[in-house]
Amino acid sequence: MLSAPVLTTNTHRTAEMAPTATANFDRIKELKQFDDSKTGVKGLLESGVTTLPRIFVHPPEILSDLKPGKRHVTIPVVDLSGSYSDDQHAAVVEDVRRAASEFGFFQVVNHGIPDETVDGIIGAIKSFNEQPPEYRSQYYRRAVGSGVSYLSNVDLYRSKAASWRDTLLAALSPNPPKREEWPEVCADAVPAWDREVERLGGLLLDLLGEGLGLPAGRLSETCLDGRTLVGHYYPYCPEPDQTLGISAHPDPGALTVLVQDQVGGLQVKHNGEWIDIEPVPGALVINIGDLLQIMSNDAYKSAEHRVFANSTKEPRISIAIFINPSDHESMFGPQPELISPEKPAQYREFKYPEFMDKFF
């Protein structure tokens, strides 16, 4: 049987103890021990860990900021049922435009995705992560360019501290994995989910483009074909005040469509304050990425967000599909219609691969 590595834990932490400055702590060695186990943070729990290995302990300046969000602010919830109605379409466009401009995050209801498809993708990611470690480890690899990868922390060797989550990741378009490359429990649910998100993503990009006054189809024709799925599994964390599920970051692409279960823990930064994104039954979370902020010439906002480490015994599941261009040769930048003497271009033009290299 595969076993998780024996990593050094820290049972006498102080606020002044940075995770990279403790005596006799070889960070790179412990990162590699963890990575080589090929069983993720779930494997640490399976091995009986009750305190966090120091590679997961975040710096004091990060930990001091971990607190519930401001209760008086919530992100908008947009009802998409009027999207195809002559009477209600303009109101939906305005709701989407305002949410993308003010928050960069919103939830959508009446999006047309069947409940069984939503339940199917959540159940598939949960089921995979709860398979025996020997099974999960078959898919563990740090190469994420093609095929299906199971790993913990894409930035494991670059970040200041690892976060308490595992991820199943794959590029879905334009070259999706073959069915046999997927774990059996995901082989049907993922393509079904991608088909629905492709439809919804096209609708949202069209609504967002209309809100900017762009020609019909401009955003959906240029930004929809490069989709990537990340299925996150956040198991119980024995010391949730010492780490994060995902540290604060914006998304680099055009648009993110995320489904989360009812456990909660997602926050977004708005006007310098963190606010909670409470799960809404049946809703999906939508957020603007850096690329769409650039293309909108700052009309839309790409916001920082983070996820708390999971303090509940029930695992938290979330699945994001990042919607990006697949065109690596064309130039991207602020759309010409959004540039004027009063609002000059805020960014230079670039090719998408260059942009992603700079982001990472």
How would residue 13 be classed by pLDDT, with cut points 50, 70 and 90? very low
- Band of pLDDT at residue 6, cut at 50, 70 and 90: very low
pLDDT digit string (tens) for 24-74?
789 999 999 999 999 999 999 999 999 999 999 999 999 999 988 877 789
Percent of the chain with pLDDT over 90: 87
In the predicted model, is pLDDT for residue 2 greater than 90? no
User: Which residues make beta-bridge pairs with 288?
Assistant: 255
Q: In the predicted model, what is the mean pLDDT of residues 192-214?
A: 98
Q: What pLDDT is attached to residue 356?
A: 84
12 pLDDT more than 90: no
Neighbouring CB atoms inside 10 A of 329's CB total: 7
State the burial class of residue 114 (Cβ atoms within 10 Å of its Cβ: 0-12, 13-18, 19+).
exposed
The band of 354, judged by pLDDT with boundaries at 50, 70 and 90, is confident
Ordered by start, the domain boundaries in the chain are: 59-359
Which architecture does CATH list for 59-359? Answer: Sandwich (2.60)
ω into residue 68 within 30 of 0, thus cis?
Answer: no
Mean pLDDT over the full length of the chain: 92
Look at residue 71 in the predicted model and tell me its pLDDT. Answer: 72
pLDDT at 15 over 90: no
The tokens of 290 are what?
Answer: 């850096």
